[in-house]
Each structure stands twice: as structure tokens, then as C-alpha cells.
Amino acid sequence: MKKHVLTVILSVSFIVWSFAQEKPSSVGQLLHGLNKLDVVASAMYVAAHPDDENTLLITWLENEKKVRTAYIAMTRGDGGQNLIGTEKGEYAGLLRTNELLQARSIDGGEQYFTRANDFGYCKTTEEALTFWGKEQVLSDLVYRIRKFQPDVMITRFPPDSRAGHGHHSASSVLAEEAFDAAADPKAFPEQLKEVDIWQVKRLVWNFYNRGFTNTPPEEDGGFITMDIGGYNALLGESYGEIGSRARSMHKSQGFGAGLFRGERMETLKHTKGEPAKNDLFDGVNTTWSRIKGGDIISTVIKDIKLNFNPELPENSVLGLNQLYKLMQTLPDSPLLQYKLAELRDLIFNFSGIHMEVNTKDYNVSRGDSLEGTFRFINRSNLNVKISHIEIPKLSYNIEKQTNLSKNKRFQQSFKAWVPKGTPISQPYWLQEKHDKGAYHISNEALKGLPMSPPVIRSLVKVNIEGLILEREIPLTYKYVEPSFGEIYQPLVVAPDVTVTANTGSLVFGNGNPQDILVTVNSSKKDMQGNVNLDVPAGWTYSPISTSFNLKNKNEETILKFTVNPPSTGSKGTIKIKANAAGNTFSSSLNSIKYKHIPETVTFPEADISVLRLDLKKKGKRVGYIVGAGDDIPQALSQMGYAVDLLSEEDLSGNLSVYKAILVGIRAYNTNAWLPFYHDKLMSYVKGGGNLICQYQTRGGRTSAFINKMGPYLFTISRDR
């Protein structure tokens, strides 16, 4: 039984850790939380990528049906484009992971993954399953089903070519197999040391509206139809509005959505298990009576709601405390542990207690000291005491009863040393080199979770009217940005020194040398040393070594190296290394920072891919219309072209000086003025110029807009 207590509490905590800033609860949200506490059921939505999920349906499940709802994406979207920045590959996946977490913070769902990697467009199910490694990804999905224990599973795609993409169809194939395997003790028996087998009641397909290719024939039957666009007075929004706001978090993919209001009919088709006749949860006991002795829980919740005072929510805390003690007497199970965690959050929210732990700086190095402050405010008339404060990783703890007076700020400063063996802050799925189709994950306890837990976190015990509750609080750096306001940033455990190149790749089209710039950054004071390069055989560079002397923490300097390629074709990797304080450091510093997600810092290996080839090229000067996340101009420069970045004003001038003009990725989506220069660009082509237009999307534009892209009329559809 103990295995359930620990793992379920942790899974809830991981969701909290993803959002450093505490969100206040309105009176309506408090009452809504009580209503959700009274429903004992769950659903799992399964698809392939970030943005595949139906955020409106997840919103409806969480807030109308009030069931615990998860979205499990096979991949993190590593293979897609990026409308808002230059992140690509696994860093695009990291950006989209954060966007998914922001979407779930709005629609109320939870987020999980498998180890599968989005390796780009995939034509068939078989191709996807081969690259992913079918058995290992199926194992991930089965494990999550057994751990989460959904009553209902929902897929977004059919298991065939109608899905439009091999990743899409593979997600459905895996869901159907996992539906059976999760209940089979012979399937992945090693998991049963930690989780139990689980039989899902039914599996349904949430297909798109009629008119898409991804829809079943009407005569197939087995459909459930419901209106999911209702209005929730306690939340002050319709499910369409909430779902639209969640959808708009997928900003890197250009999925900002208008707020949807009014009726929204959604249809689900039966796939496996016991068919439903009228309701998605037909035959599922969604009440506390499904837990032995749990009938009394609903009665107590009803009494708490009857006595709820919207002007003094704190008056309900004594009743919630008694409910918590009562729930602890029920037979233990993962389901009960989740509801206990849900109730703990409600007690804190009803109490109006604010808690945060802020550090003096946004980063810390191993072996250095960490300073910060615990901050607590009791904004109620309740008797609240802090009985224990601890930062386990730092061996810091205080056993002391501290009364929190009403609306009086209480602060406790701390200073502790970070052990030298502390891991650096790094997403767990990026800690090892991975294959094209799947990530390598050594830490089984983290597999499938959206993010790594903070390396350093605090534990606080709070006595609220006699009930002692524990809460883990992430350590955050808090600052004020004048044009935005208060910002919370997760604390980062950083290497002592990082070495970051100004490029990740270099192409040598001839024997001419090229320069690279290396930014050396120190996360602690008084770091001196030198930087050198490991280059492939046949390559040389100068100077052989360059020294640095960084007096202050987070100080940086830029060093220049000149790389000379061999005379013949060659490719390889340059590794950048810093030597300081008797140690060698080979990590770079990468930061993903946008206003709609928390800043995410990673420390990838400081490598540069290099290629020497005998490049035949025509022309010397090209024009480039920059699009989104576009690194092509730099690549063209490395190939030896003079590249002019063309603005709207430039397009009004003489274009005949260019051997070619390139239109960047999604340039028609990011430059509203571009269609108005269609005739000018076509005249350039007629005059002998070469015009190359890269990937574009419809982007909500009209047909007239689309027809201003190419020399002939054409349409952009959803047909892949």
C-alpha cells in the first residue's frame, strides 16, 4: 500500500512544480473545487503531439463532468516548426512541453508523455512504430494507464490512414493495444512491483467535425453526442472560452484562437470495451461509494457546501479538516491518495495562506552557498502555525512553532551550502544522447512526467487549526520587470563555467577559415582558466588556448577562435572545453524565454557540427525575406553568399541585383505586407530572377491572400 501513497502524491506535486507562481482562488473556484471533490472518476486523452489534444473537451471533462483528466502525448513535438523563435528539434520540444503545461493550467488537465521522439513528418503507422520502438512506447503508455487508472480513454485519431500522419495513427494503434495490455498481468509484469493492472471501462474516438478526412462514416453507428460548450457560472466562463484560452498557449505553432462561445456539439465513436448509450461515463460509478466506506464522504461534502459562506470561506476549514481525517480512514488506493492531495490543496486555498520561497539569485553552483527567504502570510482568522521548514538537499531544517498572525508577513531567511554532488538543472529526457525515434531515460521514476522536479525544493509543515499538512514549495527567484510586473523564475543549479558558441554548425564551402565566438559565463565568483577546442582530424584552429578571468558571479566574456578546414571534404564535431579550478567544463548555456511560459534553462554539450565540402555555387548576392525561427540567412552566409535581408521598403526598390530571392519559413504569416508585393516579385521572376518560397501555412488567411503566394492560383488544404 505504501507504494501508492508516495507515487500518487508525487505525481500531483509534479504538476504544481511546473508553475512557480501561486494562483489565487476566487470564491467561485473554491465552491467549484468542492463540487469536483465529490466526483470520483477519471479520463485519459491520447494523441501524438502538443496541439493534438482537444482543449475544449478536456475543459468540459474537468469542469462539467468534474473528472480527473489527463492528456498523454506520444511526443513533445520536437519535429515541428516554430513560429515565435529559433528553437528547433529537442528545444522546440522543450518549448512545446512548457506550452502544454500552460494549456493544462488553464483547462485543468494533467500532462504526461511517452519517450517517443517527434522525428518529423511520418507517412505510415509502421514507420512511426519502428522508429519509436513499439514495445517501449507501448510499455510507457501501459504504465501510465496503470498508474493513472482512467475509467475512460479517448483518442484523437483513427488507427489508419485517415489520421493523415503516421504519428497520429500510431498513437491510436498504441492506445487500443494498451487498453487491453493494462489489464493483462502477463503484459509488462515488471511494472506490477509498483502499479496494479487496470481495466479501462471503454475507449472512444473523438473525431473531427464532419467534412474532415479524419471522420468515420455516418452509417458506422456507435456514436455519443453531447454539447460541451456550456457556461460555468462559478468560473465565470463557458467551456469554449476556457478551452480557447488553453488552445492559444500553443503559440509556437501559431494556434492562437478566438474565444468560442455557445453550443458546441462533440461526437465520440465507440472503439473498445463496454459501449456507452447516453453518456460517456455510462456504467461508471463516479461517486464515493466506489470506495469501501466512502458513502459518508459525499454527505460531509454536501454539509460543507450547505454551510459555505462566500464572504468567509475560512469558516469551512474546520469541516474540511474533519473530512480529511475521515478520508484517511478509508482503504488506501491511488484514487484515494489523489483525492487526499486534492483536498489538501482545497484546505490551503480556503485558508487563504500564501507561501513562497525566494532565492537571492536565479542560479547557484555546486559547492557554493545559497541564500533566500521563506515568506508566509495567513490572510484569515484561522489559527495557523508553521511547525517545520526544511530544504532536504541542503540539509537545512528548522523545528520551531511559529504562529502566523492575520495578514502579518512572516519571513525566515536562510543560508545553506549546496553539496558538490548536486545534479545540475537539466530536463531528464535530455540528460543522455538519444536515437532518432526515442529518448533514453535512465531514471524510471521520472519517465512520462512533463518536467523534471526542481533539483532543490523545500518542505514546509503547516498546522491549520490542529491539522498538520505538508507542502513542497519550489525555490524561485522573484523580480519585477518594469514593463510587465512581477516575474517568478525557477532556481537553476548551474555548472561553475559554461562555454556557449555563437553557432551550432559551420559549413565551409572552400578552404577559407571562419571565426567562432565563445561566450564564457561563470556561476560563481573568481573563476580563472582557459578555453580550448577539440577539433576533428585534419582541422586546425588558433589560438590554441585563450584565458579568462571572471571576478563576479554571472560575469561573462567573449573569446574568438579561427577554425581552418582541411583541403578536402570532411565532417565532424568541434568540442569546446573550459579548464578552471582543476576541473574541465564542456556545457553550454541555453535559455528558452517567452512571456507565456516560465524561463527554462538547459546545459547542452558545447559542440559545433562542422562540414567541409567542395561547394559549386552560382551568383554572389541573394535577397532574403525573413520568416519565423529562420536560420537560413546564416547558413547562406557560411556558404559564401552575400545575403541582404529584405524589408518592405527594400522590395520597392531594384530587385534585379539579386541572383535569387528566398522567402523565409512562414514569412507570409509573419509579414502582413508581403502579399502586396506579389506583382513585383512575379515581375522579378519574369525578368530572369529565381524566387524560392519555403514552408508557409494558411494561418487563418483568406483565399485572396493565399493566391498572392505563387505564380498560379492554388489552395492550401489540411490534406497532407
pTM: 0.90
Given a cut of 50, whether residue 507 has pLDDT beyond it is yes
pLDDT tens per residue across span 285-328? 999 999 999 999 999 999 999 999 999 999 999 999 999 999 99
Cβ proximity of 517 and 558 under 8 Å: yes
Say what the pLDDT of residue 259 is.
86
Alpha-carbon distance of 411 to 392, in angstroms, equals 19
pLDDT value at position 3?
Answer: 39
Task: Encode pLDDT of 175-225 as tens digits.
Answer: 999 999 999 999 999 999 999 999 999 999 998 765 556 777 666 667 889
Sign of the torsion formed by the C-alpha atoms of 169, 172, 178 and 180: negative
Kindly report the number of other CB atoms within 10 A of residue 416's CB atom: 16
Q: Which residues pair with 559 in a beta bridge?
A: 518
Is the pLDDT at 4 greater than 80? The verdict is no
Name the residue among 177, 135, 169 with its Cα closest to residue 153. Answer: 177
- The number of CA neighbours under 13 Å toward the Cβ of 504 is 12
- Find the largest Cα–Cα distance for the chain: 84
Over residues 540-569, the pLDDT tens digits come to 999 999 999 999 999 999 999 999 999 988
- Name the amino acid, one letter, at 597: I
- Helix H or strand E encompassing 172: helix 166-181
pLDDT at 701: 62
Q: What is the pLDDT of residue 16?
A: 38
- For residue 171, the one-letter residue type is S
Averaging pLDDT over each range in 6-20, 208-222, 351-365, which range is the top one?
A: 351-365
- CB-side exposure of 433: number of CA atoms within 13 Å? 2
| Residue 27 half-sphere exposure toward CB, CA atoms < 13 A | 9
- Exposure string for 49-77, b = 16+ CB within 10 A, e = fewer: bbbbbbbbbbbbbbbbbbbbbbbbbbbbb
Burial label, 129 (beta-carbon count in 10 A; 0-12, 13-18, 19+)? buried
The mean predicted confidence, pLDDT, of the chain is 91
- Give the H or E element holding residue 176: helix 166-181
- List residues bridging with 585 in a β-sheet: 578
Of the ranges 230-239, 410-419, 457-466, 609-618, which one carries the lowest mean pLDDT score? 609-618
Q: How far apart are CA 24 and CA 33, in angstroms?
A: 13
User: What gap in Å lies between CA 629 and CA 100, rounded to an integer?
Assistant: 20
Q: How far is CA 81 from the centre of its chain?
A: 16
- Give the β-pairing of 384-391 and 410-417: unpaired
Average pLDDT over residues 221-231: 89
| Per-residue pLDDT band at 17 (split at 50, 70, 90) | very low
- In the prediction, which pLDDT does 253 show? 85
Q: Which of 144-148, 421-425, 484-488, 530-534 has the lowest mean pLDDT?
A: 484-488
Q: Which residues, including other chains, have CB under 8 Å from residue 66's CB and lie 6 or more apart?
A: 35, 36, 38, 39
**Can you tell me the mean pLDDT for 482-505?**
93
- Residue that the C-alpha cell 494549456 belongs to: 103
Positive or negative: CA dihedral 435, 440, 446, 448 = positive
Cα angle 525-365-418, degrees, rounded to a multiple of 5: 115
Distance between CA atoms of residues 253 and 268, nearest Å: 26
Q: Answer whether 20's CB lies under 8 Å from 476's CB.
A: yes
Contact (CB, 8 A) for 643 and 668: no
pLDDT exceeds cutoff 80 at 270: yes
In the chain, pLDDT over 90 holds for what percent of residues?
77
For the segment 86-129, what is each residue's pLDDT rounded down to a tens digit?
898 999 999 999 999 999 999 999 999 999 999 888 989 999 99
Question: Beta strand pairing status for 369-378 and 410-417?
Answer: antiparallel
Report the C-alpha gap between 115 and 437 in whole angstroms: 9
For residues 495 and 587, is the Cβ–Cβ distance under 8 A? yes
Q: For residue 634, what pLDDT is reported?
A: 86
Give whole-number Cα distances, 637 to 303, 468, 548, 620, 633, in Å: 72, 63, 30, 10, 6
How far is the C-alpha of 383 from the C-alpha of 576, rounded, in Å? 57
pLDDT of residue 501: 96
